[in-house]
Structure 1
Amino acid sequence: MRHWILRRTLLASSLGLAFAAGSALFPATAAAQQPQQQGQQLTFWQSVHRDFHRNNAWPEPFQSADRAVTREYFCIQVNNGWKMQNTVGTFLFNPETQELNRAGELQVKWIVTQAPIHRRAVFVLVGDTPEDTQRRVLSVQNYISRIVPGGQLPPVMITYTQPEGASGAYFDAINNAMMQSIPAPRLPGGAGSGGASGGSGTGN
């Protein structure tokens, strides 16, 4: 038993001497290891502090992230709807010159003056050729510069998505046909008198 205790004491002393000798021979290495250990210690306690507050704040921030993901779908749909609304399509340009026609000017004017400020961006549908697209964009920019007197002009961007719609002549024909087919706003005379006599008979 005494031999075992003696051997253990000698081993511990040898290790201590070796460590002291290594520190004396390589002081830079020992000095470099000490800040690294302190940095690891600080990182550990920082993670403990962070996890403590995370556990107490649960289900946040995960609940807010889930809500944002759920709302993102509706935000995308709203943005796509405004993009479609603000798109100047083929029927709003002259097919020969690619200049804005009267309907196109009214559409662009509504976008840059009546739409919400953060939605005032004009999207121009691409033409059949790059030259046609360039003429369309230039026509829209020139018209915007005429109706917006000063300040920053609304952006004009190209899009490849065809908006739903048709020519003004098509909608005008549908509107005229509807107006011509509206019946006269009068009640039939026979039905009115019959109802009156039936009501008096019931009262008797």
Structure 2
Amino acid sequence: MKRTLLAVAALAAAVPADAFWLGEFYCYLEQRRAEQNAWPAQYVEQDRRNAAAPFDIMIENGWRRQNLLGSHHFNEDCTQLTQAGRLRVQWILTQAPPEHRQPFIERSLDEQTTQNRIATVNDFAMQVVRDGSSITAQETHLTSDGRPAVTVDFVNTQFRENMPTPTLPAATPAGASE
């Protein structure tokens, strides 16, 4: 680098004073030298953002899954929320962290059904949130892993009803051999 600067200084002495390119060349060299001296610093913040980006996406997808309303949250004609659906929307709008209070609706095969579900949730959200803020449900491509509470109750009831009565084995005398 020292030899390069000496060569540039010798060239500057030999070139007439009206050579503007020499000043620009010197600024270019000085800028590159400054970049090389501080080389990793300018990329550290960008690398940190790039390393954290997948985690931010995972967090958003987790909240989308948590705030998802499936077909079992609506009655058969999709005009009303079931009790489970009302409780889920109420939890989303009151208990979830404020930055994640966004209900998501499972997309149906019929576009009109999806729009009816969104309108139903938006109407109920207006009843829950009375402070004037507007919460709008969005459709999503995710599918709900849940099932109706009636189905879960039926399975549990059948399990209890068909469970054998617990009994102790018959007692054998202490001296008897088997």
TM-score by length of 1: 0.61
CA offset at residue 78 of structure 1? 1.2
Q: Which has the higher helix share?
A: 1
- Encode CA deviations 1:103-159: one digit per residue, 9 max, x unaligned: 111111111111011111111112231221111111001000011112322231111
Q: 1:114 corresponds to which residue? A: 95
Larger Rg: 1
SS at match of 2:41: coil
> What is the number of equivalent residue pairs in this alignment?
148
SS at match of 2:47: helix
1:132 paired with 2:117, answer no
Give the alignment partner of residue 147 of structure 1, picking from 128, 136, 145.
Answer: 128
Structure scoring higher RCO (CA < 8 A, sep ≥ 6) equals 2
Give the Cα–Cα distance (whole angstroms) in 2 for the partners of residues 43 and 101 of structure 1. 73
RMSD: 2.9
Distance 1:97 1:57, change over 3 A: same
Q: 1:59 corresponds to which residue? A: 40
Alpha-carbon contact 2:122-2:135 (below 8 Å) kept: no
Give the alignment partner of residue 68 of structure 2, picking from 64, 72, 87.
Answer: 87
SS at match of 1:118: helix
Give the Cα–Cα distance (whole angstroms) in 2 for the partners of residues 95 and 43 of structure 1. 75
Distance 1:179 1:68, change over 3 A: farther
Give the Cα–Cα distance (whole angstroms) in 2 for the partners of residues 108 and 136 of structure 1. 12
Q: 1:5 corresponds to which residue? A: none
Give the Cα–Cα distance (whole angstroms) in 1 for the partners of residues 34 and 94 of structure 2. 49
Give the Cα–Cα distance (whole angstroms) in 1 for the partners of residues 159 and 29 of structure 2. 74
Q: 2:14 corresponds to which residue? A: none
- Among all aligned residue pairs of Structure 1 and Structure 2, give the percentage whose two residues are the same amino acid: 27
Alpha-carbon contact 1:125-1:162 (below 8 Å) kept: yes
TM-score by length of 2: 0.69
CA offset at residue 84 of structure 1? 0.8
Bigger Cα displacement from structure 2, 63-72 vs 118-127: 63-72
Residue type at the aligned position of 1:140: V
